[in-house]
Amino acid sequence: MRKCPFGPTGMRVPVIGQGTWMMERDRAASVRALRAGLDAGMTHVDTAEMYGDGAAEELVGEAIAGRRDKVFLVSKVLPRNAGYEDTLAACDRSLRRLRTDHLDLYLLHWREQPPLEPTLRAFDALMRAGKIRHFGVSNFDVGDLEEAHAIDRRIACNQVLYHLKERAIEHAVIPWCERHGLAVVAYSPYGEGNFPTGSRTLREIARARSATPRQVALAFMTRRPSVFAIPKSSDVKHVLENAGAGDLRLTDEEIARIDKAHPAGPPKALPMI
Show which residues are catalytic: 51
Cα dihedral sign for 253, 228, 232, 172? Answer: negative
Per the CB < 8 A criterion, the answer to whether 235 and 190 are in contact is no
Of 109, 95, 110, the C-alpha closest to 64 is: 95
Burial 117-139 (b: 16+ CB within 10 A, else e): eebbbbbeebbeeebbbbbbbbb
Of 92, 88, 87, 38, the C-alpha closest to 62 is: 38
Per the CB < 8 A criterion, the answer to whether 171 and 214 are in contact is no
Alpha carbon of 238 to those of 38, 40, 228, 250: distances in Å? 13, 12, 17, 21
First to last CA, the chain: 28
The strand pair at 11-14 and 157-161 is best described as unpaired
